[in-house]
Homo-oligomer: A and B are copies of this chain.
Amino acid sequence: MNIPKSDLPRIVIIGAGFAGLQVARGVDTNHYQVVLIDKNNYHTFQPLLYQVASAGLEPDSIAYPIRKTLRRKKNTFFRWANVESIDTESKKLYTNIGEVSYTYLVIATGATNNFFGNKIIENNALPMKSLTDALDLRSKILGNFEQALNASTEEEQEALMNFVIVGAGPTGVELAGSLAELKNKILPKDFPDLDLSKMQINLIEAAPRVLVNMDEKSSEKALKYLKDLGVKVWLETMVENYEDNVVSTKGNSSFSADTFIWAAGVAGTFPNGISTESVGRGKRIITDDYGRMKADNSIYALGDVGLIQSTRYPNGLPMLGGVAMQQGKYLAESFNRLAKGKAPKPFVYNDKGTMATIGRNQSVVELGKLKFQGFFAWLVWMFVHLMLLVGFRNRVVVFINWAWNYVNFNNGLRLIVRPYKKTKL
């Protein structure tokens, strides 16, 4: 990899998500050379991916070119590459564009889908973790209605219009809600010759309530909102398989559905070379309170891929964007302290709350002890998400789309740009 030689210690960061980008932006490059590597040339704002999937936002407004975020930062180099493996002995990374050595390595590679070893589900389910996933899903959803017009049997048509989402965490709940709005407000006008009452949105969750990481009150309210919108919610239901367009569960219920969206389990993902002893629950890399791998003090793991195990956080921290951002800022600060000969302080998570939106005027928000729902929660949700988006242009465009949709229920982003093709096992 062509990186200019330098006498400064080199920090190599893998992953430009919430955590990695904060490290790259925050490190004082008078004291370090920074190399940021990502498999995409853009940062994705994952919390709004579901709106790209449901044709509410365009991909360009929730992603941001990494190079643009690093402008005017000297000694900072972005490389668009896949990291293939880490050699912790020689402190080198191997990538598809050559090798690079590091003084410090920051692993901020996030999480990927966890299909719990079920290969059939892995091959047939639609994931929702990346911008391309969301675009594929958009094409698939819209394409199914076009196909439903030409279905030869009633059963085929119903399967095409049946959407099964597994996992009622924020992604599953928000996607279910926005599909319900498509059903109720937008698609009937686009498809006057299709009986949209046949469209089904089934949300399946193994736990006894939706949004299990939030308060019970929030779960109840979210469930009510979902039901009001017409989403069928199946709690305490375990999906067993998805084959030949049939979703089977560990009960009696099964669903004949052409679209099966996986928002259930995630697991850490990182390049080869990390010893198995350092990997904990959910395939996350075990670190101390400083974000350092216990086995190798030159390697840090943060965000979704890092699992703090300490007296302060015996059970680690949740896999949330907020944690990742704070850890990223913290680690940049730690590096800067180190450069000045100061000892780093341990990381302390400042829980700013969680929120989810189900439909227009329908959100649930928990800010510390303050818990509220409904219209005001929805305004707060929108404001927070707009402010978290990188780039002023993106904020303006997203705001226009939201305002437009609020007034018209209709923004015109329903392009099937690259038709999704199911690959059968």
Interface residues of A (CB under 8 A from B): 1-2, 4, 40-42, 58-61, 63-65, 67-68, 71, 77, 79-80, 97-98, 131-132, 135, 142-143, 146, 149-150, 189-191, 193, 391, 393-394, 396-397, 400-401, 404, 410-418
Contacts and interface: CB of A to CB of B under 8 A. Distances in A.
Given A58-B58, A65-B413, A79-B150, 5 more contacts: A41-B414, A65-B415, A67-B190, A79-B146, A393-B401
Given A60-B58, A189-B71, A190-B68, A98 B415 contact: no
B97 A412 contact: no
A393 B418 contact: no
B80 A410 contact: no
Nearest to A191: B67
Which of A41, A64, A98 counts the most chain B CB atoms within 10 A?
A: A41
A393 B190 CA distance: 17
A417 B42 CA distance: 9
Contact of A60 (B64, B71, B393, B413): B413
A42 B132 contact: no
Contacts of A64: 412
A131 to B, nearest CB: 6
Contacts of A396: 400
A148 to B, nearest CB: 10
Contacts of A67: 190-191, 414
Top 8 closest A-B pairs, CB basis?
A58-B60, A67-B190, A80-B146, A65-B414, A42-B415, A97-B150, A41-B416, A60-B413
Given A2-B149, A2-B150, A40 B416 contact: yes
Contacts of A415: 40-42, 59-60, 63, 65, 131
A68 to B, nearest CB: 5
Contact of A417 (B135, B150, B191, B400): B135
A57 to B, nearest CB: 9
Given A41-B142, A150-B2, A190-B65, A59 B417 contact: yes
Contact of A150 (B1, B61, B143, B400): B1
A42 B416 contact: yes
27 contacts: A1-B150, A2-B149, A40-B415, A41-B142, A41-B146, A58-B58, A58-B59, A58-B61, A59-B417, A60-B60, A60-B412, A60-B413, A60-B415, A64-B412, A65-B415, A67-B191, A68-B410, A68-B414, A79-B150, A80-B146, A80-B416, A97-B150, A98-B150, A396-B400, A397-B397, A400-B400, A418-B418
Contacts of A149: 2, 79
A78 to B, nearest CB: 9
B416 A394 contact: no
A260 B331 CA distance: 45
Contacts of A4: 193
Contacts of A135: 417
A400 B393 contact: yes
Contacts of A394: 412
Nearest to A58: B60
Contact of A397 (B98, B400, B414): B400
Contacts of A132: 417-418
A64 B417 CA distance: 11
A193 B59 CA distance: 28
Contacts of A40: 415-416
A418 B42 CA distance: 12
